[in-house]
Amino acid sequence: DLADTQKLIQQVRLALEGGTLWLQYRNKSADKSLGLQQATALMRLCREFAVPLIINDSLDVALEIDADGVHLGAQDCLISHEKKKLGAEKIIGVSCYDNLQCALEAETEGADYVALGSFFASTVKPHAVRAPLKLLREAKERLRVPVVAVGGIDLHNAGLLVGAGADAVAVISALFNAEDIKETAKN
């Protein structure tokens, strides 16, 4: 969570220059005004790099800035209802934590991807439930939608998750706390 919009944009630009393929805007501490300001600035930046922008937990902001999609918590709402509001061409992802049944239901409801984890200790969510690595293998056997691994991911453990079946990994601290964000994104 970053209140300094200019610094946020500088860091994200470096991540995008390094090859980041998707960006999810998540700032739990921002008020509505700051959240909208930052999301709008990130949307312009993502368009410059032709990278999709997903808004975390705010369908209203996603709609207002015409973001590429929204990411929801498993308990947030019915995905099919959100999909109608957002539009069929937009992306909806759902956090399913360590729950394969949740992921299966999310796919049935129309989710375009599911996020599973936390696979490792995370400074962003230190008390998150830990998911076993075998969950990725099981998910890939049973789901048709992409599976994103989350939680404590860095350069040392990302390959393990991809090897276990993750289609993508979500990285926050290991990227944005790195000395060289662009180089870390490349790696």
Residue 72 parent element (H or E): strand 69-73
Is the separation of the CB atoms in 184 and 18 below 8 Å? Answer: yes
Q: Which amino acid is at 74?
A: A
Give backbone dihedrals phi and psi of 97, rounded to 5 degrees, phi first. Answer: 55, -115
Find the catalytic residue in 58, 83, 90, 95: 95
| Separation of alpha carbons 146 and 148, rounded Å | 7
Rounded Cα–Cα distance for residues 161 and 137 (Å): 10
Annotation says 90 is catalytic: no
Chain mean position to CA 54: 7
Q: Is 7 a catalytic residue?
A: no
Establish how many alpha carbons lie within 13 A of residue 51's alpha carbon, considering only the half-sphere containing its beta carbon.
Answer: 21
Residue in 26, 130, 137, 140 annotated catalytic? 26
For 16-62, strand residue ranges (E) read 23-25, 53-56
- The verdict on whether 26 is a catalytic residue reads yes
Q: Which of 125, 130, 137, 140 is catalytic?
A: 125
Which are the catalytic amino acids? 26, 95, 125
